[in-house]
């Protein structure tokens, strides 16, 4: 039992926990910045000591959107591959630590320049807003560190494949590999704009920057980034939740197929963030919108698979009628309850995503706070609640402790508090966005304009929701601190589900990396080559850097 197959080796556990600690520190600081934001936007609160609203906006976006997610995901994936493909070799673990320290140092540098007010470029660090070069260099270190960790996982996977020729790899090793391949391909875009455009520009080596190229490279990265966050939640749903409820996985093949579809279709779709951007031919926007809608397919496959798993389990426990199986699910287990609530929130979140990606509907909501509301449903609810649910067994497994009944009860309360806060905040954002309220902007009545005054009640509702969410953050930090340092010593299982007997055998074609990466690259070239050549050949004069705050 202790040979690394069933229990994550203590040395691998340390590596995973290091990432998870940083993730939760980012949650605390980024959550505080978020609370300050919603209070300022309500118009009832002003920041002290000349702190700029746009400084805390950048802090919130970078710490929660990039740092919390990337660190938690890489920590979780290291634990998953160690658990399913055997203990990491010393070399893989060494490079995992190198990646971790590069990311941590990069995060510290980035945070420093944001907090001293030299990098208030909002969450998307969009040109022509210009930050201090240190901000871009710090983010580069974060990306490079994550690449090193990705290659360490690839090396571990390759070693397993060599030892087991002709066999299908463990699902929780295959899935992190797909996710890191996705991350590697998409983050090349942000690396290119940062290294070749933003750093030379911020250092003053070049005076002007091609804004359209910079934004296009950013969104080549920015949309697949959402799936980099989402796929680890899917890993937990597919491979872990069935075990937690006491059931079996509906289909291993279907899980792999959905991940491959995400790899293929999530990258050549960045233009749907640029539908109102001049300089891109509408025909190319149309192509990328069509490809965006293809991403709906693996999401619907996942929904089908999860509810099939739940129903199979409920029926095996004697449930009858159309929805009788719902009563058989373990509602009192926070490890199930938090991710399940995340799944439910993904239904309106996905519908909102279809609105954002539709050319005509996008005209209504583009650059309004509707988009922020959508973002908080997908990442800050679906993904984050699933990560919290995973932390409730992952942290005690890695620290050799057990979650007590009291902590489990607190975790259920935390999930409910989070859901109530998000319903208030996200709904208010969606409604205010439909009324035209802008995103990314501090409180303003725009000279008491009648339209702007319509937004104020919604902004107060956002502040109420954001305050409830902050209470949720405090609760989860109490639980995580307990599980890491104070919970009783003991053995906690790292649950990995078996596949149902009636499921089809998994074909080896899913691990034909040349085929799948080849298709992904071809689609990217089709979607981006001509528009890119056009942007460079017909480039406007370019823009100088702006520092507005």
What amino acid positions are annotated as catalytic residues?
A: 223, 227, 374-376, 439-440
122 CB neighbour count, 10 Å cutoff = 18
213/131 Cα distance (integer angstroms): 18
List the one residue out of 98, 101, 91 whose CA is nearest residue 156: 91
Range 97-115 burial, b when 16+ CB lie within 10 A, else e = eebbebbbebbebbbebbb
Quick check: 484 and 402 in contact, CB under 8 A?
no
Per 3-state DSSP, the chain is made up of helix, strand and coil in percentages (nearest 5) of 75, 0, 25
47/94 Cα distance (integer angstroms): 43
Residues 6 or more apart whose Cβ sits within 8 Å of residue 394: 16, 20, 76, 79, 494
Residues 6 or more apart whose Cβ sits within 8 Å of residue 119: 58, 110, 113, 125, 131, 132, 134, 135
Cis bond before residue 128 (omega within 30° of 0): yes
Gyration radius of the chain's alpha carbons: 23
Quick check: 30 and 477 in contact, CB under 8 A?
no
Burial of 412 (0-12, 13-18, 19+ CB in 10 A): middle
Residues 6 or more apart whose Cβ sits within 8 Å of residue 19: 71, 72, 74, 75, 76, 78, 100
How far CA 124 is from CA of 338, 375, 532, 540, in Å, comes to 29, 13, 20, 22
- Report long-range pairs for 161-166 (Cβ below 8 Å, ≥24 apart): 161/511, 166/508
46: DSSP letter: -
> Would you call 438 helix, strand, or coil by DSSP?
strand
DSSP code per residue over 219-242: HHHHHHHHHHHHHHHHHHHHHTHH
Residue 351 token pair: 């519908």
237/231 Cα distance (integer angstroms): 10
């Amino acid at each position: 039992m202790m040979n690394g197959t069933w229990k994550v080796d203590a040395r691998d556990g340390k590596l995973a926990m290091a990432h998870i600690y940083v993730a939760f520190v980012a949650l605390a600081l980024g959550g505080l910045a978020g609370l300050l934001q919603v209070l300022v936007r309500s118009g009832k609160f002003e920041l002290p000591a000349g702190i700029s609203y746009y400084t805390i906006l950048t802090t919130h976006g970078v710490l929660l959107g990039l740092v919390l997610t990337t660190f938690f995901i890489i920590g979780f994936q290291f634990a998953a591959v160690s658990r399913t493909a055997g203990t990491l070799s010393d070399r893989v673990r060494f490079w995992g630590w190198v990646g971790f320290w590069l990311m941590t140092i990069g995060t510290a540098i980035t945070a420093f320049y944001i907090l001293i007010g030299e990098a208030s470029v909002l969450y998307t660090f969009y040109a022509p807003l210009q930050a201090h070069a240190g901000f871009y260099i710090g983010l580069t270190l974060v990306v490079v560190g994550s690449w090193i960790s990705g290659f360490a996982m690839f090396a571990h996977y390759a070693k397993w494949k060599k030892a087991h020729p002709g066999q299908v790899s463990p699902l929780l090793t295959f899935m992190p590999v797909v996710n890191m391949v996705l991350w590697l391909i998409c983050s090349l875009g942000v690396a290119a704009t940062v290294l070749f455009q933003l750093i030379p520009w911020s250092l003053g080596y070049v005076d002007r920057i091609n804004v359209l190229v910079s934004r296009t490279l950013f969104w080549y990265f920015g949309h697949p980034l959402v799936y980099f966050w989402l796929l680890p939640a899917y890993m937990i749903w597919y491979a872990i939740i069935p075990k937690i409820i006491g059931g079996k996985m509906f289909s291993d093949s279907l899980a792999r197929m959905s991940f491959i579809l995400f790899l293929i279709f999530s990258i050549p779709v960045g233009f749907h963030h640029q539908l109102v951007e001049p300089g891109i031919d509408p025909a190319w926007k149309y192509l990328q919108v069509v490809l965006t809608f293809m991403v709906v397919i693996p999401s619907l496959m996942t929904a089908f698979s999860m509810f099939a798993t739940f129903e199979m389990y409920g029926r095996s426990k004697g449930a009858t009628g159309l929805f009788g199986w719902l009563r058989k699910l373990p509602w009192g287990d926070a490890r199930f309850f938090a991710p399940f609530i995340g799944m439910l929130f993904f239904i309106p979140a996905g519908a909102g995503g279809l609105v954002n990606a539709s050319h005509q509907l996008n005209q209504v909501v583009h650059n309004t706070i509707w988009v922020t509301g959508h973002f908080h449903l997908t990442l800050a609810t679906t993904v984050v609640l699933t990560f919290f649910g995973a932390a409730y067994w992952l942290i005690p497994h890695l620290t050799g402790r057990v979650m007590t009944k009291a902590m489990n009860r607190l975790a259920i309360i935390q999930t409910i508090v989070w859901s109530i806060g998000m319903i208030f905040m996200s709904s208010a954002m969606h409604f205010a966005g439909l009324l035209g309220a802008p995103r990314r902007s501090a409180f303003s009545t725009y000279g008491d304009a009648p339209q702007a005054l319509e937004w104020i009640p919604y902004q107060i509702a956002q502040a109420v929701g954001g305050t409830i969410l902050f209470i949720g953050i405090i609760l989860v930090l109490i639980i995580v601190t307990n599980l890491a340092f104070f919970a009783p010593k003991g053995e906690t299982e790292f649950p990995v589900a078996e596949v149902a007997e009636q499921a089809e055998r998994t074909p080896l074609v899913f691990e034909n990396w040349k085929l799948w990466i080849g298709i992904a690259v071809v689609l990217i070239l089709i979607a981006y080559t001509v528009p890119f050549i056009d942007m460079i050949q017909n480039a406007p004069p370019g823009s100088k850097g702006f520092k507005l705050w």
